[in-house]
Every structure is written in structure tokens, then in C-alpha cells.
């Protein structure tokens, strides 16, 4: 292992399970244990768990916390009740995306921002830069927290069994509970995830996370690596920062303008995004299904029948749950309508397909 890589609190567990490890966002992370297909199916049909301790936890508090978060965040936290969670983005003034994140409204005061591992330092710096004039404290506490994502139709039972708390069943989608461990440490349990299935994300101290991992493993929960995390989120139509959202791909281009609240008085990027929404954008993220089993991969050209390139694949797989070759692609908006015939160049050949809805797999959230 490259010594410059960071490790999560569960690193030893991955090694002892014989996981295939690979660098991701500066961490040495498990890509797969038993195999991507088996792990993917465990989440769709039973229950799987992911080490997502690499994700960042940034706390924002102070008298102006609400005003500040609403200034940097595209969604509207003013309507959020304590214990509530919103998904949205932080944008640059030009509408490009700094990061996509979850915002948790704390019970006492302030907010928890859960951000992508690769972006923690960038986000923290961005938040500090934007905070002048706001009476807020911003604290990157990422190193103090471990995190497990417990996902799948069996997640609720596994969670209740591990914690012995029946009330956890009542947790609603995009809300969280706070628990206290024996030493007074904080445990956060939210009904959230990145797979298209029901599930939970559990934040706790590294020691507690290691204990929980062992309990879930003992209970038959399938350990899942980042390989199937990507196939699962992709089927569910969820974007990955860097692929479907970036400084060059705005939320409007990604089809995520429902997470931008234009009725807020202001937020960074609002002017440009509102204009994009009203006037249209030059390029959009679409879903494409191929009429063949060849697999479209990120970077492959999207073409018209005459060979003119009109876009590029951002994520693609032979879908495990749907058994067909599908991808997200960034294409010229003229070719974004559903049913538009498009072609993907895969190595030396060109394969026909058509634009389909991005939510490839019907999600099973508990709402």
C-alpha cells in the first residue's frame, strides 16, 4: 500500500476479510470482498454494509448558521425541522458545483454537512472563504468520525437487532436520531443512503464503528466495497461528484434543479442557475440504453449515425439488476429528449442506443 494513503478505522477489518483494496479519494479503500455482483445483489435483495468512514463531516454553528448554510447551499434549510436532512449542492457563482452534500439540521443548534471524501479540504476552505460577515463557527471534524452505510430491504431489521431499539423502525426517510454510547459519545443514525434501497447511515466514534461492523458481520450482513456502491447508485440514477456533477457540470445540466430553491432570496450561483433553468443549457446529463451487451465506459464518445460526436459517457455499466448496458452521458441538449437515437463508440465499433430515463432502477425507499 502507498504509504501516503490514509486509512479508515475499519482498514484492518477489510484486510482480514481479504478485500481487494485500491486508492480512492486519498484513502486505501475496499473495492470488493466476495465480488461486485454478489455484493450488489445482497444490497438489492437482503442487506449489505459499506465502510464510508472516508466521507467528511463538517459542522456549522453560531447565530448566523441558518443564513450561512442557505447562502452556500442550493436547497432551503429554513424549512427544515431539527432531525431533518436535505440533499443539495454547493455551487460557484458561475453555477459549477463545489460539491454535493447532505445537510443535517441539529436538534440543539447548527448543522452537520456530510461531504465527499475527495472534497473535504476544498469544501472546508470554500466554506471558510464564504463565511466572512457571517457569525458562524465552521469545524472539520472528519477525522473523529467513522461511518457505516447499512443498505437493503433487510437493513431495518439488522439495525434494530444491533442496537436493540425498536423505535429505530420509525425513523423516516431523510431524518436522523441522536443516540449516546456508554461513554457519552455521540451516535447519529439517519435513514439515508446511496443505493436506491431503504437503509441507514450510522456515524460514530472509530471504536463504536469497529464494534458495529463486527456485530453486523456476525449477523450475516454482507460487507460491500466501493465497486458495488457505484453500480448501485448508478442504477438508482444518483450522480457521482466528478462524473455527473463538477465545476463544469451544473445541477441544472445534471437534471437536479429540484434541489435548487430559486424562491430563496439568494444563494451562491443562484443567478446563473436560474438563468440556465429558464433559458436552457447547452449540454445535459442523460441516460442511454444500448441495444447490445457491449459496455459503455466513462470517456467513450457519444455520436450521431453519421459519426458526429455530440457527447461523452460519464458512467456506464452492464447493469447488474436490469441486465442491460446503460450509461449516463453528457450530450448536446438537442439530443437529450427521451427516445433520441444515439450511438456509442466502444473501441473500434459503434453501437446504437437511445435516450431513456436516468432513473434506470425503481428505487425502494421507505417514505
Partner 1 sequence: MSRIIEGLLYSESHEWVKVEGDLAVIGVSDFAQAEMGDITYVDLPSEGDEIQAGEEFGALESVKASSDLYSPVSGTVEAVNEDLESAPEMVNQDAYAAWIIKVRMSDPSELESLLDAAAYGKIAE
**Positions in the binding site for partner 1 (CB under 8 A):** 20, 31-32, 35-37, 40, 227-228, 230-231, 293-295, 297, 317-318, 320, 346-347
Judged by beta carbon, residue 324 or residue 366, the one nearer partner 1 is 324
- Please count the residues of the chain: 367
Judged by beta carbon, residue 162 or residue 294, the one nearer partner 1 is 294
**CA–CA separation, 239 vs 75, rounded Å?**
16
Judged by beta carbon, residue 20 or residue 45, the one nearer partner 1 is 20
Minimum CB separation of residue 284 from partner 1 in Å reads 26
* H runs (alpha helix) in 187-284: 206-218, 226-235, 270-279
Minimum CB separation of residue 315 from partner 1 in Å reads 11
Q: At 188, phi and psi to the nearest 5?
A: -110, 130
Q: What is the 3-state secondary structure (H, E, C) of 125-147?
A: HHHHHHCCCCCCEEEECHHHCEE
Under 8 Å between Cβ of 307 and 361: no
Judged by beta carbon, residue 231 or residue 246, the one nearer partner 1 is 231
Strands (E), the chain: 20-24, 27-32, 48-51, 56-61, 85-91, 97-105, 111-115, 137-140, 146-151, 176-180, 186-190, 199-204, 222-224, 283-290, 301-303, 309-318, 325-332, 341-346, 349-356
Judged by beta carbon, residue 80 or residue 238, the one nearer partner 1 is 238
Minimum CB separation of residue 45 from partner 1 in Å reads 17
Minimum CB separation of residue 350 from partner 1 in Å reads 13
Minimum CB separation of residue 19 from partner 1 in Å reads 12
Minimum CB separation of residue 36 from partner 1 in Å reads 4
Classify 253 as helix, strand or coil. Answer: coil
Distances (CA, A) of 140 to 2, 27, 58, 66: 25, 17, 4, 18
Judged by beta carbon, residue 134 or residue 300, the one nearer partner 1 is 300
**CA–CA separation, 333 vs 315, rounded Å?**
18
Minimum CB separation of residue 259 from partner 1 in Å reads 28
SS3 content of the chain, % helix, strand, coil (to 5): 25, 35, 40
Nearest alpha-carbon partner for 213 in 141, 144, 147: 147
**CA–CA separation, 272 vs 133, rounded Å?**
23
- Taking every pair of C-alpha atoms in the chain, what is the biggest distance, in angstroms? 67
Judged by beta carbon, residue 111 or residue 300, the one nearer partner 1 is 300
Judged by beta carbon, residue 192 or residue 231, the one nearer partner 1 is 231
Minimum CB separation of residue 23 from partner 1 in Å reads 14
Amino acid at each position: 500500500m502507498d504509504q501516503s494513503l490514509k486509512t479508515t478505522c475499519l482498514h484492518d477489518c477489510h484486510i482480514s476479510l481479504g478485500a481487494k483494496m485500491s486508492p480512492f479519494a486519498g484513502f486505501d479503500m475496499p473495492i470488493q470482498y466476495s465480488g461486485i455482483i454478489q455484493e450488489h445483489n445482497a444490497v438489492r435483495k437482503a442487506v449489505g454494509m459499506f465502510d464510508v468512514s472516508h466521507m467528511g463531516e463538517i459542522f456549522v454553528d453560531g447565530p448566523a448558521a441558518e443564513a450561512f448554510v442557505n447562502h452556500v447551499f442550493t436547497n432551503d434549510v429554513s424549512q427544515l425541522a431539527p432531525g431533518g436532512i436535505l440533499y443539495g449542492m454547493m455551487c460557484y457563482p458561475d453555477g459549477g458545483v463545489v460539491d454535493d452534500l447532505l445537510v443535517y439540521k441539529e436538534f440543539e443548534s447548527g448543522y452537520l454537512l456530510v461531504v465527499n471524501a475527495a472534497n473535504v479540504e476544498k469544501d472546508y476552505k470554500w466554506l471558510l472563504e464564504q463565511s466572512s460577515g457571517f457569525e458562524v463557527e465552521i469545524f472539520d471534524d472528519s477525522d473523529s468520525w467513522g461511518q457505516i452505510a447499512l443498505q437493503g430491504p433487510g437493513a431495518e431489521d439488522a439495525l434494530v437487532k444491533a442496537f436493540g431499539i425498536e423505535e429505530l423502525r420509525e425513523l423516516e426517510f431523510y431524518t436522523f436520531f441522536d443516540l449516546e454510547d456508554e461513554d457519552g459519545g455521540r451516535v447519529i443514525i439517519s435513514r439515508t443512503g446511496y443505493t436506491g434501497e431503504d437503509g441507514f447511515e450510522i456515524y460514530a466514534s472509530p471504536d463504536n464503528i469497529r464494534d458495529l461492523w463486527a456485530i453486523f458481520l456476525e449477523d450475516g450482513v454482507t460487507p460491500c466495497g466501493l465497486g458495488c456502491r457505484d453500480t448501485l447508485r448508478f442504477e438508482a440514477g444518483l450522480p457521482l461528484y466528478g462524473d455527473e456533477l463538477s465545476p463544469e457540470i451544473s445541477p441544472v445540466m445534471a437534471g437536479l434543479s429540484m434541489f435548487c430553491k430559486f424562491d430563496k432570496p439568494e444563494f451562491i450561483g443562484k443567478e446563473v442557475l436560474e438563468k440556465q433553468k429558464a433559458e436552457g443549457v447547452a449540454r445535459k446529463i442523460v441516460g442511454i440504453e444500448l441495444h447490445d451487451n457491449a459496455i459503455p465506459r466513462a470517456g467513450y464518445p457519444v455520436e450521431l449515425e453519421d459519426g458526429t460526436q455530440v457527447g461523452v459517457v460519464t458512467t456506464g455499466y452492464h447493469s447488474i439488476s436490469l441486465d442491460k448496458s446503460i450509461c449516463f452521458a453528457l450530450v448536446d441538449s438537442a439530443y437529450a429528449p427521451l427516445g433520441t437515437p444515439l450511438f456509442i463508440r466502444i473501441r473500434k465499433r459503434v453501437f446504437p442506443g437511445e435516450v431513456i430515463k436516468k432513473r434506470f432502477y425503481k428505487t425502494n425507499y421507505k417514505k
